[in-house]
Amino acid sequence: MEKVLITGGLGTIGSCITAQCVKRGYDVTIIDDYSIGVENNLLYYLNDEEVKKIKIIKGSILNEKLVDEHMKDKGLCFHMAALLGTLRVVRHPYEMIKTNINGTHNVLEGAKKHNVKIVVPSTSMVYGNNPKIMVSENDDCFVGGNLNKSLWWYAITKMADECTTRALLFDESITALIIRPFNIVGPIQSALAGFVIPRFISSAIMGKSIPVYGSGEQTRSFVWTEDFVEALFKLIDKNVWNETVNIGSTYEIKIIDLAKRIIEKTKSGSEIIYVNPDRLFKGQFVEINGRIPCIKKLTDLTGTTDNDFKNVDFILDKFIEYYKTVKDENIWTYKPDY
């Protein structure tokens, strides 16, 4: 039986990966600090009996001994733990840097020491303000990045993670897969971290104003969590290692259109208001006008195409359906600062 360690296994992506591993019959251990993930997230994908099979360790990846202890008998690690989300990154930059760089170092050291294959997530933000709308794995990174803007520091931590992983690959001391996700979303995602779809939907459900940053003309492409995880496991099943791969959809939607569609789908009386993000984030915000992934490499390696990713209407319908079942509003209620 494959023994798997999943850091951040209670988060949006981590819980879905956990579920896939459980359904495959793997022996699963999670390390999570509960800073944003909760055990109930697993129940979106699994039943009570399946969740009971999982060993869940409450702890931080900054605890080197803890990571080493639970890495040593594993065959595979999904390193999904990170401090992320616009609000959390801007409000807690030093904690974010420590977690994302030092914590990842601990996880990589453990994987190296115990010869564990590891999946290391990066972010689409590593591409910076690259003028190319569709970016591929070999394109320049951090184009136009500004070190005076703390939101870019998140991208830098993920670039550091990539570089550390690449250095270990260069030394042939680790087996790793680097993935660059593009806006992975699922209904258990917390609005409290600043993610746009849960922010908009929670505001619409409560009949509160929906805050759109800037003009709303900026575009995003979103990927349903389960589609992302399916594409990831295709890479693993095909034994794709020591590569960097984009995973995302090329379907774009303007943020203003996203807000309007959510109002329509929730039959909400919410109004759209335009917020200056620089004021909200004290000058530390960075806006990307648009960025979509080139997934040719993913397609060539696994056969995954755009048709394998659900469209935004499916995603929004699933969010709204889930929110109707949520009893504890604190899980998803967005509390704006403007």
**Which residues are catalytic, by number?**
154
C-alpha–C-alpha distance, residues 44 and 38, integer Å: 11
Torsion of CA 114, 12, 232, 142, to 10 degrees: -90
E-strand ranges in 156-240 read 176-181, 184-185, 210-213, 219-220, 223-224
89 dihedral zone (left: phi>0; alpha: psi -120 to 50; beta): alpha
Task: Give 256-259 contacts, CB < 8 A, sequence gap 24+.
Answer: 256/212, 256/215, 256/216, 256/217, 258/196, 258/197, 258/200, 258/220, 258/312, 259/200, 259/210, 259/212, 259/216
Q: How many other CB atoms sit within 10 Å of the CB of residue 293?
A: 25
Contact 60, 33 (CB under 8 A): yes
